[in-house]
Amino acid sequence: MEFATKTIHAGQPSEPETGSLIAPIFQTSTYEQDEPGVNRGFDYSRTNNPTRARLEAVLAELEGVKYCATFGSGLAAENAVLQAYLKPGDEIVIPLDVYGGTYRILNKVFQPIGCVITQIDLGRDGALEAALSPRTKLVWIESPTNPRLLVYDIAAVAAATHAAGALLVVDNTFASPLFQQPFTLGADLVVHSVTKYLAGHSDVIQGAVLAKDPAVFEPVKFLQNATGAVPAPFDCWLTLRGLKTLELRMQRHADNAEAIAKALDGHPLVKRVYFPGLPNHPGHEIAKRQMTGFGGMVSFELNGTVEEVVSFVSSRRFFALGESLGGVKALVCHPARMTHASIPADERAKLGLSDTLVRLSTGCEHQRDLVADLLEGLAAIEEARALNTAAAGVTEPAYAHAVSAVGYGEGV
């Protein structure tokens, strides 16, 4: 079965009792048993639920494995993996450019109980090997990373991790299983913030953990029931609905991201564009090798002040200012003040996370509208500067990057 067919058919037969093409939401907490202890596969909805089971079946198919457990959020999914595999004294290696919430749960929840968190520049040759020790239980990476979209060679990281006797966890949220299949590259566990591309409509908070090996999956599955951070049936149903257009949406996101990256690259107000699809991106070659698309995220550093960034991100027509990503509606975010605010300023500086970095989650809108909106925002900064210069009595001509020069003029 091809990917798009799996999103619609895998684990989702018509409902047997009525033939309902789309299975109903099994909004139930418990199940009538035939005899004490004899049930029809379901006994209590924290343990299992038919709507959730359908979602877990299709997610497993999409990542090419058999085992999936869903959770009430991406962080609940992360917590299950960390609790399953980290005991006091155990070590975990993470890269510098890790999602802020992963950094926070490790440093504020797991470090205080005695786990050792080693954060490394994973792109530096030999850094991973030097960080691994006999006490390393997990190596945890994202690729592309959040928010600079750095790309790591997952197969190489997996080889080094396994040589040290540890497990590799890949957070595949940014790529989605359409564009990247971490298990084929050696991952032992894959986590998702299902909230993002998988659900796809910014209306659900949900997470998932996937594994290839039943023995690796078992402790996570145990914690799903034992600690109980399960998703509601209605949310599972919404994700099942969203998943059916995953391929269509991802292709649109990726096309939009490419158009935006090209429009921003070289703009005088843009210091640097981060998009793995640009040939000047340091991870471009690896991305070409291990991904089948470059994703829908673009970040860029504004060549300006933090105040200009704040004004830019607060006044877009189509990019709503908000946390999160991966939905059909475009979003813009200022990581230093939003998603990554939980990382102290000095740490952010060490991570190369500039205070003028802007992160874009391209939606499924038309790319002409999205690109025009961004170029208009940059033009507004230039106009404001020109006005300030004129007000200060300087007579140099104001420069204006012509919005129409790249074909994205007003008429949107």
Ligand X SMILES: Cc1ncc(COP(=O)(O)O)c(C=O)c1O
Contacting positions for ligand X (CB under 6 A): 73-75, 99, 101, 142, 146, 171, 173-174, 193, 195, 205, 207, 324
Q: Which residue is nearest to ligand X (CB)?
A: 74
Dist. CA 168–CA 183, nearest whole Å: 10
- Count of C-beta atoms within a 10 Å radius of residue 21: 9
DSSP, collapsed to helix, strand or coil, labels residue 310 as helix
Least gap, CB of 120 to ligand X (angstroms): 18
Dist. CA 287–CA 298, nearest whole Å: 14
Contact 242, 204 (CB under 8 A): yes
- Reading the block at residue 231, the tokens are 């998703």
Out of 52, 196, 249, 316, which one is annotated catalytic? 196
66 is catalytic: no
Least gap, CB of 74 to ligand X (angstroms): 2
Least gap, CB of 348 to ligand X (angstroms): 16
Out of 99, 152, 197, 408, which one is annotated catalytic? 99
Dist. CA 183–CA 295, nearest whole Å: 18
Least gap, CB of 288 to ligand X (angstroms): 21
Nearest CA to 186 out of 207, 160, 208 is that of: 160
Q: Which residue lies nearer to ligand X by CB, 11 or 74?
A: 74
Residues 6+ apart with CB under 8 A from 36: none
Q: Which residue lies nearer to ligand X by CB, 235 or 308?
A: 235
Out of 153, 171, 235, 373, which one is annotated catalytic? 171
6 is catalytic: no
Dist. CA 281–CA 166, nearest whole Å: 30
244 is catalytic: no
Least gap, CB of 194 to ligand X (angstroms): 7
Dist. CA 169–CA 82, nearest whole Å: 10
Least gap, CB of 153 to ligand X (angstroms): 18
Q: Which residue lies nearer to ligand X by CB, 106 or 403?
A: 106
Q: Which residue lies nearer to ligand X by CB, 74 or 377?
A: 74
Least gap, CB of 24 to ligand X (angstroms): 25
Annotate 194-261 with DSSP letters as a single string.
Answer: TTTTTT-SS----EEEEESSHHHHHHHHHHHHHH--PPPHHHHHHHHHHHTTHHHHHHHHHHHHHHHH
Dist. CA 68–CA 33, nearest whole Å: 26
Dist. CA 374–CA 93, nearest whole Å: 37
Cis geometry, peptide bond prior to residue 147 (ω within 30 degrees of 0): yes
Q: Locate tokens 């790319």: which residue?
A: 367
Q: Which residue lies nearer to ligand X by CB, 74 or 293?
A: 74
Least gap, CB of 77 to ligand X (angstroms): 8
Calculate the alpha carbon distances from 102 to 94, 96, 171, 311, 315 in Å: 9, 11, 10, 29, 30
Calculate the alpha carbon distances from 361 to 74, 94, 236, 331, 370 in Å: 18, 24, 23, 5, 11
Q: Which residue lies nearer to ligand X by CB, 167 or 175?
A: 175
137 is catalytic: no
Annotate 130-172 with DSSP letters as a single string.
Answer: HH--TTEEEEEEESS-TTT-----HHHHHHHHHHTT-EEEEE-
Contact 339, 147 (CB under 8 A): yes
Q: Which residue lies nearer to ligand X by CB, 174 or 183?
A: 174
Dist. CA 223–CA 250, nearest whole Å: 31
Out of 31, 46, 203, 241, which one is annotated catalytic? 46
Q: Which residue lies nearer to ligand X by CB, 101 or 186?
A: 101
Residues annotated as part of the active site: 46, 99, 171, 196
